[in-house]
Structure 1
Amino acid sequence: MRNIIMGLAAIVMAMPTLAIASPPRNPFLADSVIPIFHNDTGQTGATAVPGPIDESRTIEQENIIWKKLGPSDGYSYQYSGLYPNGKRVGWFGGQQQLVKLDADTLETISTYSLHEGKFYSPEEIGRLIDKADKLSGQALYDAIVPPLAIGIERGAQAIYRLIDNENNLYVLYTDRSSGDQYIRKFGDAVVNDPNSDIVLKQQIKLPAESGRRMTAIAMNMTYDGTIIVVTLDGTLFAVSRDFRILDKAVLADRPTDGKEFMDAFVRNSIAIDDAGGIFVVTGTRMQRVQWTGTKLSFDERDGAWSVPYATGPRGSGTTPALVGWGKASDKLVVIGDGVGNAVLYWRDHIPDDWRGLSGQPRRVAAITPIRFGKDPIRLENALVTQDYGIFVANDTLETKIPWQGSQMKTTLAEKYAGQTSGNEIRGGMKWTWNPHTRSLDIAWKTPLALVASICTPNANHLLYCVGMRDGASTIEAIDWNNGKSVFHYVLGKSYRYTAVGGLVNIAPNGDIECGCAGGFGMFRVRTPPQARFQR
């Protein structure tokens, strides 16, 4: 055995080290693999933690941890920095409860109830998924979609949140009785004790305008520690970590009133770079608002810009993701527009010799159709980026399903339909920006069924996704450079693994996990020791 281990170690040491140009770590966020949704302030979705390299295998059920947390309560999660005792915790939930878990074992440490009303216990969630596993078609949607839709509508604010460098969790919150909007800061009842209870440390009420319905939807943090909040109706706030409102600004073309989530003027998160750029996609424009250190600026002299894009009926469904890091790199930002294209923008200075693209604003660096069949598709899942690479998994069904009464319910039902045997959503595509030709080129496509998961590129140049093979859910490991399948894990035949647009990630200990679990929690795959080698 010792000789085998030594041999594997020698192979790993002989492999070339592949440098990755990553966003610089934000010093005011937790020093953690996932301190914020989409993993970093640039919203790249990539991680510096290497995941497993293994052979294809079926994973025994005892090596899959399934945390049944509540409707949409596993979708977003963050990990703390290290505590003095060397431990980390994970913060989960946001709809019916906040849950603090041991980062290594996923054992529950503490819970904090957020709302009154229907509460789903782990036992009830288990029964609901067991029931779903026996259903299909409309009967499946009727059983599983209503609680998920309610969960997301009530807890959507809590998805886009963050942990600071003092291990405090910042969450957006709406008081259901008054409609008042808050930023809330949660932490440990005993400072520096990860095993202590969850407490609400502080909160600030965001000022509302008379006659307007305002719902705060997303937050991010600048590199000077300022919290930036955006609302569904297009208002930006800059707030200090001690909860002083530093500035407020209104985005261009803001409608007269806010809308429901799926049709809102702003319904994605915001990206922030290390130069104070705040990147927001609204229902009409892609724009950069500049944080100067004292104010939110729309002035081009400060670096701000704003351009219209092709919005379609609901605008972009994707959070802007930043591309290109380092002094010598091209600096870009990418979104999926509302009519089936990936659009890449120069995020700061446009090169003086850039002539622009025919029919597009000069700010546009590239535009290309997102196509897995004959027709372009519009995205609801975010694009992920690493170096100059940009990837997206198909999230659109080829066959339409019946209208479910609202856009939210229909979208959720489509996610379940796309992870039903024989109806799998298939396809993934990577582009690479070429700084020499200034073009966005297709690097590769894969026909694998990646079932609308948001995949994660990581430090060993693999891309991990949730997939399906022969009716069973899988974890797919794909070579980031050439798109070839490296290995896959077979998880089993159950809707507990349905991605519902959830993020696949690498846990602090190197395990693969997903804020999926049919939308009712998360799961983690324990990987064998021999798979824990950097590529």
Structure 2
Amino acid sequence: MSNRRDVLIGLGSLLACSTCLRPVLYAASAQDLPTMPPRNPWLAESVYPTSHFNPGATDSVLFAGPVHGRKLKTEEVKTVPTVITSNPTLKKVGDQTIAFASGAVGVQKLRLTGKTMEAGNFVPYPGFEADAEMASNESIHAVLDKLDAASRARDESQIVAALATMGSMGLNNQTGINGVYNLFDKDGYHYCVYGGTKVLKSFDNNDPEADVRIVASKNLVEDLPADIAKSVSRIIGLAMTYDGYLAAAAPGAALILDRDLNVKSYVGFGDEAVDNSICIDDKGGVYVVTSKRMLRLAWTGEKLSTDTADGAWESPYESMDPKKAMALGAISRGSGTTPTLMGFGDDPDKLIVIADAAEAGTNLVAFWRDAIPDGFQQKPGTPSRRIADQIKIDISSLTIEPSPNVLGYGVAVINGSYPEPFPEPGPPNQFTAGVTRKAPLGVQKFTWDPKEKKFEKAWVNMEVDNTDIMVPVVSAATNLIYCATKISGNYAYVGLDWTTGETKQTWLFPDDSRKWNALGGITTILEDGDLLIGGAFAIKRMIDAP
């Protein structure tokens, strides 16, 4: 796998691996390929070592995704039961592909070599053993059967009633966010967040047949002073710096810890919320968006700094009152997006992009990542000269929740604002939208013009149903962005042309079961072009075969 990745990125030969020959819809030379974030040598060598694919959180790749749209047969979608899993991360052990799926109640090992998806062992999080006991295959299937029956009847009251029984399979307010952000380091150790303020380190001795075992678990607030710890209610983001430290973010603080889970440095945010993950650059930048500010914190190798002399900066952005936003259906306080880097290598402009939470309607906002260019004048209507540009997002009134997709100077966002939201966010939104209630529709792409220093609108596709708030993925090789959607109320995936927004490929799941949802996940392209999809009830592998 490492050889293939090196060939793909270093030479642009998208058909270099004789065992992975795949149709390519976009004939790209090495000169045509966008520049990607530099590889982090402290992450595992794989196509998906960390949530959002890479340290820049671009949710894009150079290699080919699936190209054979069709109605899928049951045997063409491999599944492993889960309570809910967002995005398993991957490592290579020799020629074997291994995933750890950190979900609601523990870590599930998966073997993905070839076209298989075999379940290895499952280890519960410390303190969640009782919840894991409830998460039997039988209890998962029992809830799914009730939900399927209610959904087929289009009976909203019964859908909500079925969802209320999800506690019987171990899902509750404490377990729902467990394991979302996770990664493999270069030595094959896996890290994830769980239990509010805890980080888990696990390992399988890099043996495909061995069991996952817990190496260490740490409640990070134990290493924080009381005045900081009282604000840190849950760890949200987790990433790896380019010198091998873990960076974490939470309401109230950002932290750096070593790989033995000891906190080495931190920065407090007081009452500012952090509801998204973080991204990293190769110059020590740790990018955190709070409910009020966009921050570049500077990791010096010894401390996490807010000093401008170390390269740190901050900027406000437009944001409405969090209580008002939540009442309208938002699930984040302030920006809903994980910050995403744009511009690498010789690209003339280096930016970081988010969706803001402006009361008049959300904007796509780009901040200068490094020094603000000499002579740059603050754009009218922006709250800071650090903002390179901002432009209205037409498809959503509230902040965008899924992370933006960036490839080259293109950036796409999906609408996650439910037109008819339930009073409380959660599964009732995801399982009634597109069935008994209106769904959030639309994908919009923008392009950055480095000559004019501004965004331009590229296209809008209003056919995609974003009920699951699933982060798409872009493949440079196929020139497609792959999005979860529904068609006639049933789950599907579509491949939209990255240049025009036109729907080029459609994959319909085998039947009308709710098992095929992609709830709250991040779409992963495997090295052979298959899709690995999380969600509730089952982890899915969608086989790309004619």
**Is the CA contact 1:95–1:152 (under 8 Å) kept in the aligned structure 2?**
no
Cross-structure match for 1:364: 387
- What residue is the counterpart of 2:14 in the other structure? none
Counterpart in the other structure of 1:245? 263
For 1:95, which of 98, 101, 104 is the aligned residue? 104
Contact 2:67 2:544 in 1 (8 A): no
RMSD: 2.4
How far did residue 359 of structure 1 move? Answer: 3.1
| Amino acid in the other structure paired with 2:474 | P
| Alignment partner of 1:113 is 2:124 | yes
Match of 1:345 in 2: 367
| Other-structure match for 1:268 | 276
Q: Find 2:76's aligned residue among 63, 71, 90.
A: 63
In the alignment, which residue of structure 2 is the partner of 1:154? Answer: 175
Matched residue type, 1:318: T
1:95 Cα deviation (Å)?
A: 2.1
Which residue is 2:294 aligned to? 286
Show CA shifts across 1:82-140 (max 9, x none).
213x1121101332121001023221111102213342222322232222122232331
CA contact 1:79–1:103 (8 Å) conserved in 2: no
SS of the residue corresponding to residue 486 of structure 2 reads strand
Query: Is 1:459–2:476 an aligned residue pair?
Result: yes
SS in 1 for 2:143: helix
User: What aligned pairs does 1:39-438 form with structure 2 within 5 A after superposition?
Assistant: 39-54=53-68, 56-70=69-83, 72=84, 74-80=85-91, 82-84=92-94, 86-104=95-113, 105-114=116-125, 115-118=128-131, 119-135=134-150, 136-144=155-163, 147=166, 150-151=171-172, 153-174=174-195, 181-188=197-204, 191-206=205-220, 207-210=223-226, 212=230, 214=232, 215-232=234-251, 234-251=252-269, 254-255=270-271, 265-312=273-320, 313=322, 314-339=333-358, 340-360=362-382, 361-372=384-395, 376-398=397-419, 400-403=420-423, 407=424, 410-420=425-435, 423-438=438-453
Q: Structure 2 counterpart of 1:64, which letter?
A: V
Equivalent residues of 1:157, 1:217 under 8 A apart: no
Compare 141-150 and 270-279 and name the one that shifted more: 141-150
2:513 to 494, 513, 521: 494
Contact 1:416 1:500 in 2 (8 A): no
Please give the alpha-carbon distance, in whole angstroms, between the structure 1 residues aligned to 2:353 and 2:33.
Answer: 22
Distance change in 2, residues 1:500/1:83 (3 Å): closer
* Distance change >3 Å, CA 113–CA 83, structure 1 → 2: same
Per the alignment, in what secondary structure is the counterpart of residue 96 of structure 2? coil
Whole-angstrom distance in 2 between the partners of 1:29 and 1:197: 21
Q: Find the aligned partners of 1:11 and 1:64 in 2 and give their Cα distance.
A: 20
Return the letter of the residue paired with 1:397.
Y
Q: Secondary structure at the match of 1:266?
A: coil
Displacement of 1:230: 1.7
Unaligned stretches of 5+ in structure 1? 1-8, 256-263, 531-535
Match of 1:515 in 2: 534
Gaps of 5+ in 2: 1-20, 323-332
Identity among equivalent pairs (%): 29
- Quote the residue 1:6 is aligned against: none
Partner of 2:325: none
The offset of 1:309, in angstroms, is: 1.6
- Higher alpha-carbon deviation: 147-156 or 293-302: 147-156
SS of the equivalent of 2:39 reads: coil
Task: Tell me if the contact between 2:256 and 2:264 (Cα under 8 Å) persists in the aligned partners.
Answer: yes
Shift of 1:244: 4.1
**Change over 3 Å in CA distance of 1:173–1:447 after alignment to 2:** closer
Deviation at 1:357, TM superposition (A): 0.7
Q: Using the alignment, how far apart are the partners of 1:63 and 1:274 within structure 2?
A: 39
1:488 is displaced (CA, Å) by 0.6
CA deviation after TM superposition for structure 1 residue 205, in Å: 4.3
Match of 2:460 in 1: 445
Shift of 1:58: 0.8
CA distance in 1, matches of 2:249, 2:518: 26
C-alpha distance in structure 2 between counterparts of 1:35 and 1:397, whole Å: 31
- Secondary structure of 1:219's match? strand
- Is the 1:64–1:525 contact (alpha carbons within 8 Å) kept by the matching residues of 2? yes
Deviations 1:153-175 (A, max 9, x none): 3252421121101110012343x
Q: Is 1:481 aligned to residue 484 of structure 2?
A: no
Question: 1:393, 1:450 within 8 Å by CA — same for their partners in 2?
Answer: no
Aligned counterparts of 2:544 and 2:446: Cα–Cα separation in 1:
30
More moved, 341-350 vs 242-251: 242-251
Query: Does the Cα contact within 8 Å between 1:370 and 1:377 map onto a contact in 2?
Result: no
C-alpha distance in 1, partners of 2:25/2:253? 51
After superposition, the Cα gap between the structure-2 partners of 1:273 and 1:504, relative to the gap in structure 1 and judged at 3 Å, is same
The answer to whether the aligner puts 1:527 opposite 2:539 as a matched pair is: no
Letter in 2 for 1:184: L
Q: Secondary structure at the match of 1:133?
A: helix
Q: Is the 8 A contact 1:341 1:377 kept in 2?
A: no
8 Å CA contact 1:466–1:499 kept in 2: the answer is yes
Letter paired with 2:107: L
Corresponding letter in the other structure for 2:121: S
Mapping for residues 2-41 of structure 1, pairs under 5 Å: 15-17=27-29, 18-41=32-55
Secondary structure, aligned partner of 1:34: coil
- Deviation of 1:422 after TM superposition, in Å, equals 7.2
Partner Cα distance (1:325, 1:108) in 2:
38
Q: Which runs of 4+ in 1 moved over 4 A?
A: 9-14, 148-152
